[in-house]
Amino acid sequence: MVDSAGKGFRREKGVEILLALAASVSVLVTIGIVVSLFSETAGFFKEVSVKEFFTGTKWTPLFSPAHYGIAPLVAGTMLVTVIAMIVAAPLGLASAIYLSEYAPDGVRRLIKPVLEILAGIPTIVYGYFALTFVTPIIRAVFPQTNVFNALSAGIVMGIMLIPMISSLSEDAMTAVPNSLREAAYALGATKLEVSYKVVIPAAVSGIVASFILAFSRAIGETMIVTLAAGSTPKLTFNPLDSIQTMTAFIVQVMLGDAPFGSIEYKSVYAVASVLFVVTLSLNLIGTWIVRRYKEVY
Amino acid sequence: MIRQDEMFSPGLQNRQRRNRIFKWIFLSANLLGLVVLAALLVKVMRDSWGWLDLQFISSFPSRFPEKAGILPALYGTVYLMIITAVFAIPLGIGAAVFLEEYAKKSKFLSIIQVNIYNLAGIPSIVYGILGLTVFVRWMMLGRSLLAGGLTMGLLILPVIIVTAQEAIRAVPQSWRHASYALGASKWQTIRYVVLPSALPGILTGIILALSRAIGETAPLIPIGALTFIRVIPGSLFDSFTVLPIQIYNWTSRPQDDFRAIAAAGIVVLLVVLLGMNSIAILLRNKYQGRIKEV
Amino acid sequence: MTLESIISVRNLHVSYRDRKVLKGINLDIYKNRITAIMGPSGCGKSTLLRCMNRMIDLSEGARVGGKVLYRGENIYSPKIDPAQIRFRIGMVFQKPNPFPKSIFENVAFGPRINGYKGDLSALVEQSLQRAGLWDEVKDRLHENAYMLSGGQQQRLCIARALALEPEVLLLDEPCSALDPISTMHVEELIRQLKERLTIVIVTHNIQQAARVADYTAFLLQGELVEFGETSRMFTVPKDKRTEDFITGRFG
Ligand SMILES: Nc1ncnc2c1ncn2[C@@H]1O[C@H](COP(=O)(O)OP(=O)(O)OP(=O)(O)O)[C@@H](O)[C@H]1O
Ligand SMILES: [Mg+2]
């Protein structure tokens, strides 16, 4: 009796330890990302000064003379993501308002799956769509447009982000207690007034969080920009121009044959580190805001 | 006393008209999604018309578009998903069980939880670099199926953990108490009560995570998934390609015919995803039904 | 003094999905009087009240039959915009529900959306005065309303409704979330407000009805059992069920 109880206890303990190990993998992944990124990034900064990297305005690691100023990649990334947000923020918010305040149940049940499908379409497919469908339309309107351009990638990325903003903002809006809506209706407010004078202000932190998380997602998006936005690092604000984003640069080098240990190879890690730090910070801010508004109600 | 009618001008007709106009604006934001989805589907259908046939499914890539096919990519995708699943599912469920059933509420636990949420938000290309560094180089797995599968496994791990946690959390506490009352141990309770009733939810999460993995391209680029594969990978250490990589390769070529087979590849990819998602939706409906019964 | 009926409920039926909750109610609300609607929990008091300013439209699955006449006009006629009714007939809810905005903005909300033409600050002050809250908040008008106590929040909600100078004020158990002192304040306030407007107050508290109401309606399982002057009803109830309820012999 005592023996079998002891065995049972040991097995219970063993299982718990195994499960704890599984849970700790997530921490290992984070450590792994940090260590692997910074291992080569450190090597990169032995050869390129931190000052040049952050203040230089030319990015030409694959040609000589090589320049390693990240500004053009950051500018390219910003150009595409800002376009994406101009598309996604108003449309995503409008979609969320409709779903949370206006939609009858039946219509809602129709729209939600469409948004879920849009959210589930692989980015490579969006990339194909940008390059072969949206770009020709843009070029028909503005003939001076480059085959690869920030606008097409930005628009399609924006469309890709609509479901994300819509569903996160909708969550924030449905968390607004109904008693507030009733208070406004009882004063003779229209549905529109209830939406933008009561619901949106009350849900504003969640809405902002959805924008931040979408923005972070846009910065890290890779395939759309690789296919449609080009591979010419350029400090430009012209959306019709070919540019290169941080992610597209990483792909470009990874597809080439830069040998391990070369400076081009290391430059990928430096860029990826920037990408990681920026998106992680945005995500931390975004999830922090979401947690805070969840506590309020 | 002042009559209210003199002091207020509600102008309700105008306000209601504005309300109706905005209602249509808000609705059209959603209809736009539908329109884009339709345009996208029509576009790939039309581009791939005539290219998607048995020959395409059963051939190897080729310099000549009319001879090219996606057979190795299909095999690669299936093999990669198997490795990903074998790696990520037990880890993910294990982690979720630990976090929900064992871990005490503590600062450390909340750090792990925040960490998991944030892992889900890290760009997939960064996972690719993690895989390249840790699996391909440090562990010397080479540019192999195994390295790709492990990388993809890490990528979807947070999704599996979070959805499994939600499913486990939805199991009523009273069921656990009933099991303990019958003398079951903690692990027995989890094994025979909690996991079986959380299973549909967990499965839904797994399928959604795997369908994300199937469509991912970026993390496999640093791993070095190749596109000109002339043999079907036979071992964990063989080089490989997958559908999205193959599609990417064809799309990035300027010739129209390659675009056409890229579109054909997209159709195949979307069909696979559609199948997986239908299963997930079926499961979810069943699952929701069950929770209501409780 | 003749009694003028400002709201007349005529053969009102309400059901939620298939469940009938009001079965043919007929009731008159008299101008500048306080009418209490009392009855046990779930008998349909709130439903009846919400029918009087069409807030019932917002309850999912509710179907309304019959008429509610406001100044002789059926508010359920298709040409009536419910917002227009709610602008004239104010409502205060069971739980205080101030907007997460400043005290000032809470009171100013109604006047702003309804195009108030006068001096907004003066109106806000006047409304807070009438709600008996002015002295307590005059130095902190721009603080968030959530800083106030529950009782103060409820009086703020009353001030918010008063800012539109409604002819009728509907109160749905306005004191049920409040402590006795705050309840006393609100009851006192209601008695004062009677001068300017008509009040309908839902309560399941018999003493409260006795304390504040001129008229009382007793509702039971969706039916109006008895309606009349409060003093008469509490001394010589006509219906056995009313008597049981008043004397606390009720389930
Ligand atoms: N939105 C709704 N959907 C379905 N049923 C409802 C809804 N609102 C109320 N009911 C039901 O209608 C009946 C009457 O509800 P009502 O809120 O009018 O009662 P009440 O007299 O105000 O009760 P209480 O004193 O508890 O507030 C109740 O049985 C309630 O369950
Ligand atoms: Mg009620």
Tally Cβ neighbours within 10 Å of residue C240: 9
At B83-107, the pLDDT tens digits run 999 999 999 999 999 999 998 888 8
Average pLDDT, chain B: 88
What's residue A177's pLDDT?
95
Q: How confident is the model at residue C202 (pLDDT cuts 50, 70, 90)?
A: very high
At A110-161, the pLDDT tens digits run 999 899 899 999 999 999 999 999 999 999 999 999 999 999 999 999 999 9
Q: How far is CA B236 from CA B82, B85, B132, B141, in A?
A: 11, 14, 16, 9
Q: Answer with the residue of higher pLDDT: C194 or C249.
A: C194
Q: How confident is the model at residue A1 (pLDDT cuts 50, 70, 90)?
A: very low
Q: How far is CA C155 from CA C49, C65, C92, C93, C167, in A?
A: 19, 33, 9, 11, 18
**Closest ligand 1 atom, residue C22 Cα:** 14
Domain residue ranges of chain A, discontinuous segments joined by +: 73-170+212-285
Helix A71-97 and helix A200-220, axial crossing angle in degrees, nearest 10: 140
Residue A2 has pLDDT above 60, yes or no: no
Residue A292 has pLDDT above 90, yes or no: no
Residues 6+ apart with CB under 8 A from A209: A168, A172, A285, A286, A287, A289, A290, A293
Residues of C in contact with A186 (CB under 8 A): 53, 55, 86, 90-91, 93, 161
**Closest ligand 1 atom, residue C61 Cα:** 3
Domain residue ranges of chain C, discontinuous segments joined by +: 5-246
Q: What percent of chain A has pLDDT over 70?
A: 96
Q: How confident is the model at residue B227 (pLDDT cuts 50, 70, 90)?
A: low
What is the average per-residue pLDDT within C62-68? 95
Residue B52 has pLDDT above 90, yes or no: no
**Closest ligand 1 atom, residue C47 Cα:** 18
**Ligand 1, pocket residues at CB < 6 Å:** C 16, 21, 39, 41-47, 59-61, 204
Give dist(CA B118, CA A101) in Å, integer.
Answer: 30
Q: Where are the beta strands (DSSP E) in A4-56?
A: none
Q: What is the β-pairing status of strands C34-38 and C215-220?
A: parallel
Contact assignment for C160 to A198 by CB distance below 8 Å: no
Q: Which residues surround ligand 2, an ion (CB under 5 A)?
A: C 46
For the domain spanning C5-246, the CATH number is: 3.40.50.300
Architecture of the domain delimited by A73-170+212-285: Orthogonal Bundle (1.10)
Contact assignment for C100 to A184 by CB distance below 8 Å: no
Q: How confident is the model at residue B292 (pLDDT cuts 50, 70, 90)?
A: very low
What is the average per-residue pLDDT within B24-42? 95
Residues of B in contact with C166 (CB under 8 A): 4
At B232-266, the pLDDT tens digits run 787 888 888 999 999 999 998 888 888 999 999 99
Burial degree of A284 (CB within 10 A; 0-12, 13-18, 19+): middle
Instruction: Give the nearest partner residue to C83 out of A179, A183, A188, using CB atoms.
Output: A188
What is the average per-residue pLDDT within A159-174? 96
Q: How confident is the model at residue C250 (pLDDT cuts 50, 70, 90)?
A: low
Q: Is the pTM of this model over 0.80?
A: yes
Residue B3 has pLDDT above 60, yes or no: no
Distance between Cα C204 and ligand 2 center (Å): 9
Q: How confident is the model at residue A199 (pLDDT cuts 50, 70, 90)?
A: very high
Nearest to A198 by CA among A177, A181, A174, A178: A181
At A38-90, the pLDDT tens digits run 989 999 999 999 999 999 899 998 888 889 999 999 999 999 999 999 999 99
Contact status, residue C33 vs residue C214, Cβ threshold 8 Å: yes
In this predicted complex, what is the ipTM? 0.94
> What is the nearest CA distance from B174 to chain C, expressed in angstroms?
30
Contact assignment for C160 to A184 by CB distance below 8 Å: no
Count CA atoms closer than 13 A to B80's CA, side-chain side: 39
Q: How confident is the model at residue B289 (pLDDT cuts 50, 70, 90)?
A: low
Q: How confident is the model at residue B195 (pLDDT cuts 50, 70, 90)?
A: very high
Distance between Cα C46 and ligand 2 center (Å): 4
Q: Where are the beta strands (DSSP E) in B25-127?
A: none
What's residue B255's pLDDT?
87
**Closest ligand 1 atom, residue C17 Cα:** 4
> What is the nearest CA distance from C231 to chain A, expressed in angstroms?
31
At C148-193, the pLDDT tens digits run 999 999 999 999 999 999 999 999 999 888 888 888 888 998 999 9
Residues of A in contact with C55 (CB under 8 A): 182, 185-186
Give dist(CA A184, CA A176) in Å, integer.
Answer: 13
Residues of B with CB under 8 A from a CB of C: 1-2, 4, 6-12, 15-16
Residue B1 has pLDDT above 60, yes or no: no
Subunits with 3+ C-beta pairs closer than 8 A to B: A, C
Residue B65 has pLDDT above 80, yes or no: no
Subunits with 3+ C-beta pairs closer than 8 A to A: B, C
Cβ pairs bridging A and C (under 8 Å): 60
Instruction: Give the nearest partner residue to C83 out of A179, A190, A202, using CB atoms.
Output: A190
Instruction: Give the nearest partner residue to C115 out of B2, B10, B16, using CB atoms.
Output: B10
Residues of C in contact with A181 (CB under 8 A): 58
| Domains along chain B with CATH numbers | 54-293 (1.10.3720.10)
Among protein residues, the one with the nearest Cα to ligand 1's atom 23 is C42
